[in-house]
Amino acid sequence: MFGIIGSGSWATALAKILTDSGQHINWWIRNVETIGQIQTRRHNPHYLTSVYFNSSLLSLENDLRKVIAASDIVVIAVPSAFVGETLAGLDTSCFENKKIISAIKGIIPGENVLLNAYLLKLFGVFLEDYFVVLGPCHAEEVAAEKLSYLTFSGTDVTMAHEIASNFKTDYINTVINHDILGVQYAAVLKNIYALGAGIAHGLEYGDNFLSVYIANSADEMAGFLRKVGIEHIVVGEHNEEDPVTHRKAPNYAASVYLGDLLVTCYSLYSRNRTFGNMIGKGYSVRSAQLELNMVAEGYNAAKCIYDLNKEIMAEMPIAETVYRILWENVKPAEGFKQIEEVLV
């Protein structure tokens, strides 16, 4: 049985997908009032309000220990900045004999590590029991049941296939990927670049500039991934085929890398793009956060990657400039003049 930790738009979208495929889920929601409203009105009053649930498939609970204990597969779908406080106080053995699915698109702030490293350190969760679900997939399009793709990554490819099968619906196609670290770093980086794309839009750069900006961001991302040891970076080269589906193996052109970058930079549903657009129009970071009323993962990710890259030493002028705009008060127009000079 699946358990979901979190009640934001992405957690709500995943809950919809699982229940639409007939799965009964245990769902941890912090706010008791929200639980009551979902039970009586069958929809989340705060996120994706158009989505209505079959209440017989929901076990709602604000006690995280109970949700974890009752679940075989636990989906963690809270913003990366809230992971620490959400899991605080749990017994170190609580995830024993569980499969963990990360639906997080960020690095743990302060720790500067991916969720798998954080869970290994605090709870002894090994990589073979850890999986990642990523897009490209916006929660709003899931709510509208527009055809979307979910990528499931894990070192145990057979189990990744089994997990993915539970998310297959008329509007969800699934893809399997074993590059578990690469897809997580790509998800972190694409949010930074999307935030930058939003800043550019707010500064009234046009589509011609954005196309060059995104192409260079893709190249910068590939350089970072190569530096941290990720394989299958070269577009057009596929080293092996999937042993189950016999599809060609994914490379950097796959949807979970380049596709997710594109949709996050261009889509009006992208909260990182929206957040960046506000910054480009002159909002302070704090004002943009209050206005957005949702977490833009690219904000914390910019600092995490900047700090992490002090050791990795990848060439990252775009991501570094976005960091300086957000965290060091560099004026957006000044920062993008600097970015203009490095684009090729």
Catalytic residues: 190
d(CA 295, CA 78): 10
Q: How far, in Å, are 79, 186, 261, 332 from residue 180 at the CA level?
A: 19, 10, 17, 34
Q: Is the Cα torsion angle 263, 267, 271, 276 positive or negative in sign?
A: positive
d(CA 290, CA 156): 41
d(CA 191, CA 194): 5
Q: In this structure, what token pair is assigned to residue 31?
A: 């706010």
d(CA 277, CA 200): 7
d(CA 341, CA 318): 10
> Identity (one letter) of the amino acid at 134?
L
Q: Determine the length of the chain.
A: 344
